[in-house]
């Protein structure tokens, strides 16, 4: 028996087209995003008041955004894999970063490092203070990671992957007045506009670290973060890891609370996990080791 030929509707043809060319479409979108970022950097370079530092900050954020997303670089996730699943492989990424940073500090910045043997300190040298406050900061940061499901660097690259928890964790970090200079400055600007903050915070404004200030624009630190998120988005599109999900009240509340704790911990420690843990240990600072030990206790 002869059967009539099967005809495909336009909807069927469209449905078959999408999976077939989805990879090419994602790659094209990623390329367009990177081209737009380069164009923005060029525009910043020729903009009065911004110039090369702003353009360089945006472009420098691109590389860690791609590396973090491709390597799944997150302090909490790496620690959780080692503790819960006995998978210590990802921890080699942290050890490699510490080794490279230590060599860099010793060779490149050796002339600027504080030395107790020469009787003087280099200009603008900063020795991270060590006290019970630093221990509290580490505990708060570790607990904040456990509640929100990632460290702040993890939330930043996951923002590029479409994570619906990441925005609330970053919002909480802003409320905690810390983590990055840009987030802390946004919180300080909001408090200043509401008349709830002094123009000068005596003590805090004289200390180095993730310094905050009242700003009305995106700082170079903010451009660095923007480049990181953009690079993560481009990498996520290519690797098929861009997958927004529906937020839940439990996920939102835990991310918000964890973000607040991480922001507050960074404010107390004067730096986030990258600044205190990676940079501190790489610079052979006691503060970096104390913070790390306390953070592990919080996790």
260 close to 144: Cβ distance less than 8 angstroms? yes
CA 21 – CA 215 distance, rounded (Å) = 44
Instruction: Record the tokens describing residue 85, joined without a space.
Output: 């699943």
As to burial, measured by CB atoms within 10 angstroms (0-12 exposed, 13-18 middle, 19+ buried), residue 82 is: middle
Query: Between 29 and 81, whose confidence is greater?
Result: 29
Mean pLDDT of 27-47: 89
Residue 81 has pLDDT above 50, yes or no: yes
pLDDT bucket at 2, cuts 50 / 70 / 90 = low
Q: Over the chain, what is the mean pLDDT?
A: 78
pLDDT (tens digit per residue) in 120-171: 666 666 667 788 888 998 999 899 998 988 888 888 888 888 888 998 988 8
Half-sphere exposure of residue 292, counting CA atoms within 13 Å on the CB side?
A: 19
CB 74 within 8 A of CB 252: no
Lowest-pLDDT choice from 50-59, 119-128, 153-162, 219-228: 119-128
Residue 39, pLDDT score:
92
**At residue 264, does pLDDT exceed 80?**
yes
For residue 271 the two structure tokens come to 């730096």
pLDDT of residue 135: 92
Cβ burial, residue 215 (10 Å; 0-12/13-18/19+) = middle
Helix, strand, or coil (residue 86): coil
Distance, in Å, from the CA atom of 181 to the CA atom of 263, rounded to the nearest integer, reads 11
- Per the model's pLDDT, the better-predicted residue between 206 and 283 turns out to be 283
Tell me the average pLDDT across 48-63. Answer: 86
Helices (H), the chain: 10-45, 51-71, 75-84, 91-107, 132-148, 152-160, 166-175, 181-193, 220-238, 249-269, 273, 280-282, 286-298
User: Quick check: 6 pLDDT over 50?
Assistant: no
State the pLDDT at residue 139.
92
64-73 confidence digits (pLDDT tens)? 888 888 887 8
């Amino acid at each position: 028996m002869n059967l009539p030929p099967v005809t495909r509707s336009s909807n069927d043809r469209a449905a078959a087209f999408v999976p077939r060319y989805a990879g090419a479409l994602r790659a094209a979108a990623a390329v367009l995003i990177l081209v737009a970022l380069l164009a923005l950097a060029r525009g910043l370079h020729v903009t009065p008041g911004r110039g090369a530092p702003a353009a360089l900050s945006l472009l420098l954020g691109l590389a860690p955004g791609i590396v973090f997303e491709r390597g799944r670089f997150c302090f909490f996730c790496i620690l959780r894999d080692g503790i819960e699943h006995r998978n210590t492989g990802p921890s080699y990424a942290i050890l490699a970063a510490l080794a490279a940073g230590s060599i860099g500090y010793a060779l490149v910045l050796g002339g600027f490092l504080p030395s107790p043997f020469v009787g003087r300190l280099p200009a603008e040298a900063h020795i991270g203070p060590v006290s019970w406050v630093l221990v509290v900061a580490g505990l708060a940061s570790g607990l904040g990671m456990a509640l929100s499901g990632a460290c702040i660097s993890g939330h930043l690259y996951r923002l590029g992957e479409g994570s619906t928890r990441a925005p609330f964790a970053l919002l909480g970090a802003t409320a905690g007045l810390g983590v990055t200079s840009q987030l802390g400055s946004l919180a300080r600007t909001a408090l200043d506009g509401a008349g709830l903050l002094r123009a000068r915070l005596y003590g805090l404004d004289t200390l180095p670290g993730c310094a905050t200030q009242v700003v009305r624009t995106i700082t170079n630190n903010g451009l660095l973060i923007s480049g990181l998120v953009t690079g993560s988005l481009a990498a996520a599109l290519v690797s098929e890891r861009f997958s927004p999900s529906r937020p839940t009240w439990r996920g939102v509340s835990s991310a918000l609370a964890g973000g607040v704790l991480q922001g507050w911990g960074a404010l107390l420690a004067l730096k986030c996990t990258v600044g205190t843990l990676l940079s501190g240990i790489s610079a052979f600072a006691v503060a970096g080791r104390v913070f790390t030990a306390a953070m592990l206790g919080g996790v």
